[in-house]
Amino acid sequence: MSWAHTVVAAMGRRRSAVAFRGHGVVRTHGESRDRAVRFAHALGVRPGDRVALVVEDRADAVEAYLGVGLTGATAVHVNDRLAVPEIAEVLSRSGAGTVVVTAGHVERLEELLAGSGLRVVTPADYRDMVAAGSTAVPSTPGDPDLPGIVGFTSGTTGRPKGVVHTHRNLDAIVRHMPAHDGLRWGSRCGFTGTLAFVAGIWGVVLPHLYVGGEVSFQAGLDPERWVDRMIAERTNFTYAPTPLMTAFADAVRRRPAVLDHLDGVLHSGSLAPRDAVADLVDAIGPRYVETYGMTETGAPVTATVPDDWRAGCAASDPYASAGRAVPIASVSIVGPDGTPLRAGETGEIVVRSETLFSGYLDDAPAGDALRTGDLGALDDAGYLYVRGRSKDMIVTGGMNVFPAEVEQVLALGEGVAEVAVFGVAHPRWGETVTAAVVPRPGAAVDTAALDVLVRERLASYKKPTSIHVVDALPRTASLKVRKDELQRRFGAS
């Protein structure tokens, strides 16, 4: 059975319940289930074929993913925030023969797709394909160990790699995530994420459909409108993006009625400032869930639980932690030679998980353990503390500086909205610590005050030798900070 069969079967049990809401559309489980099945019949692809999707946050987009999955074909996720040349590279490397495009991308991709040799499914084509035909679910297709979804990582440098999750593995992820996130039957999700990130599909959207729940597209809303929508729709679950954590906490304090039905608020995908976590926990209580994982792990490998926000938590510092390993995973810390390190020592994070990817597209299979390239430490109670990427570690005068540690302190500064710490070449010390900070709207940042703040809290060699105030941090299409670009910009100074 493919992952899509699992989800579609669950949708069939709640036909009259709302599945999707937003962008002028309200669609029931029965309606979306039938549309996905008709699309599968009309698509005309076979197990192992590759179908690329460049789609926006719409019910149609999720139905298209389900339709591809029902055929046993491979859905190739293309981040729709990529520039046209980047999309061209992903399509070329994907080996896809068909591409599904939603309305917002038809015009900008017209020239690219016209000469691509790909079969293109436009919104008009999609409407025709789901308007008629059988609603009988196709029989179980092909080999469950064939690729089910391929998600291309953006990285901060280099070419993207296609992360392969099989139909069998995706089925396990979808079944696992409701327990991981504490989703009740019929859970209503305020989806502030976006389908641009493949983990949002298999980690949030599909699990909500699996529990007969509702996905309300809320990406881009400011915290006040976000909370208003959640109150009106009696939302049970939502995602808190790092830049909105503090503003969301303030909005909740002004509108506490949202807590009457809110079960969980998830944060993942980037390091959150410790004080922002503490502030949000103060506002929402033990509903907060912090996790650590990546595209390659499928499901998160660590998570906090409600008791972590109550007295007696065994973590050294729960507000700076990503929680402990979940039951289906294990986490260890190793040195450069692969030797396991003791509690409190910082090294590379190595993970094992039942939902680990099968390998990179058209490359050798993955092993049973993943060296993540992230730096971190475990405390005596097994809580994980992520320090950042190993390639971002700064070695200054022979001393190791972990950017995340410095960023956490700078984020406490008055008027600071975002911060990135990176190393630039130095003729004497090898590298020197440098920072870029983004002010909050209408605020000014006093770099001298930030200098004092760091001196008070960290060793002198960790202090940035220069702090640059910038309008925005350069980011990849998946919103990772481009520290390589910052290094080029400020290296000469």
Rounded CA gap, 375 and 387, in Å? 5
Rounded CA gap, 467 and 420, in Å? 10
Q: What's the chain look like in SS3?
A: CCHHHHHHHHHHCCCCCEEEEECCEEEEHHHHHHHHHHHHHHHCCCCCCEEEEECCCCHHHHHHHHHHHHHCCEEEECCCCCCHHHHHHHHHHHCCCEEEECHHHHCCCHHHHHCCCCEEECHHHHHHHHHCCCCCCCCCCCCCCCEEEEEEECCCCCCCEEEEEEHHHHHHHHHHHHHHHCCCCCCEEEECCCCCCHHHHHHHHHHHHHCCCEEEECCCCCHHHHHHHHHHHCCCEEECCHHHHHHHHHHHHHCHHHHHCCCEEEECCCCCCHHHHHHHHHHHHHHEEEEECCHHHCCCCEECCHHHHCCCCCCCCHHHCCCEECCCEEEEEECCCCCECCCCCCEEEEEEECCCCCEECCCCECCCCEEEEEEEEECCCCCEEEEEEHHHCEEECCEEECHHHHHHHHCCCCCEEEEEEEEEEECCCEEEEEEEEEECCCCCCCHHHHHHHHHHHCCHHHCCCEEEECCCCCECCCCCECHHHHHHHHCCC
List CB contacts of 179: < 8 A, sequence separation 6 or more.
none
Same domain membership, residue 293 and residue 213: yes
Q: 340, 355, 384: which is the final residue of a domain?
A: 384
Number of alpha carbons in the 13 Å side-chain half-sphere of residue 130 = 21
Rounded CA gap, 103 and 326, in Å? 39
- Strand 430-439, strand 466-469: pairing: parallel
Round the average pLDDT of the chain to a whole number and report it: 93
Other beta carbons within 10 angstroms of residue 417's beta carbon come to: 16
Rounded CA gap, 485 and 150, in Å? 27
Q: 382: exposed, middle or buried (C-beta count within 10 Å: 0-12, 13-18, 19+)?
A: middle
Same domain membership, residue 192 and residue 68: yes
List CB contacts of 360: < 8 A, sequence separation 6 or more.
161, 162, 163, 164, 366
Name the nearest CA neighbour of 264 among 333, 350, 184. Answer: 184
- Strand 50-54, strand 74-77: pairing: parallel
pTM score:
0.87
Main-chain phi, psi angles of 20, to 5 degrees: -135, 145
Rounded CA gap, 319 and 419, in Å? 18
Residue 235 belongs to domain spanning: 3-384
Rounded CA gap, 406 and 458, in Å? 8
| 170: CATH | 3.40.50.12780
Per-residue model confidence (pLDDT) at position 493 = 60
Same domain membership, residue 467 and residue 331: no
Rounded CA gap, 410 and 420, in Å? 9
Q: 327, 351, 384: which is the final residue of a domain?
A: 384
Same domain membership, residue 425 and residue 305: no
Per-residue model confidence (pLDDT) at position 156 = 43
Same domain membership, residue 104 and residue 20: yes
The angle that helices 3-12 and 167-181 make with each other, rounded to 10 degrees, is 50
Is residue 424 within 8 A of residue 431, CB to CB? The reply is: yes
Same domain membership, residue 148 and residue 113: yes
Same domain membership, residue 397 and residue 359: no
Per-residue model confidence (pLDDT) at position 58 = 95
Sign for the CA dihedral angle at 55, 58, 59, 62 comes to positive
Same domain membership, residue 316 and residue 421: no
Same domain membership, residue 328 and residue 196: yes
Same domain membership, residue 398 and residue 375: no
Same domain membership, residue 286 and residue 155: yes
Q: How many domains does the chain have?
A: 2
Partners of 419 in the β-ladder: 437
| 474: CATH | 3.30.300.30
pLDDT digits (tens, 9 = 90+) for 225-282: 999 999 999 999 999 988 889 999 999 999 999 999 999 999 998 788 888 999 999 9
Per-residue model confidence (pLDDT) at position 492 = 64
Q: 384, 414, 436: which is the final residue of a domain?
A: 384
- Strand 188-191, strand 214-217: pairing: parallel
Same domain membership, residue 157 and residue 70: yes
Is residue 74 within 8 A of residue 148, CB to CB? The reply is: yes
Which tokens sit at 35? 């549309």
Which tokens sit at 344? 């409190």
Partners of 51 in the β-ladder: 75, 98
Which tokens sit at 242? 């790092």
Per-residue pLDDT of the chain (493 residues; tens, 9 = 90+): 689 999 999 999 999 999 999 999 999 999 999 999 999 999 999 999 999 999 999 999 999 999 999 999 999 999 998 889 889 999 999 999 999 999 999 999 999 999 889 999 999 999 999 998 899 999 877 799 999 999 998 654 457 789 999 999 999 999 999 998 999 999 999 999 999 989 999 999 999 999 999 999 999 999 999 999 999 999 999 999 888 899 999 999 999 999 999 999 999 987 888 889 999 999 999 999 999 999 999 999 999 999 999 999 999 999 999 999 999 999 999 998 999 999 999 999 999 999 999 999 988 888 899 999 999 999 999 999 998 888 888 988 878 888 888 998 999 999 999 999 999 988 888 889 999 999 998 999 999 999 999 988 888 889 999 999 999 999 877 678 889 899 999 986 6
Rounded CA gap, 272 and 324, in Å? 17
